[in-house]
Amino acid sequence: MEFIKTQLTEDEFIIYKYSLEEREMDKVIRNRINKSEHKYYQIKKSCYLKIAFMFGLVSSMEDSSCLEITQTI
């Protein structure tokens, strides 16, 4: 887990820490990093995809398709 944490951006690390470790609500974390709701969820998605990729839960192809789908919503 320590290696994964080093691969996250500052905002992704904050989301990781407070969302997964501390289990704070999205609204509280969003205010902590001072991002709009849309931008917050993009960063959160990126954080979760990086973690999933590091654990081998998704391949890079699946990663790309997930990002494409979520960007059109």
Name the pLDDT band for 13 (thresholds 50, 70, 90): very high
The pTM of the full predicted model, rounded to 2 decimals, is: 0.75
pLDDT, position 62? 52
- % residues pLDDT > 70 (the chain): 81
d(CA 45, CA 39): 10
Rounded Cα–Cα distance for residues 43 and 26 (Å) = 12
* Dist. CA 26–CA 31, nearest whole Å: 9
Run of H or E including 14: helix 10-15
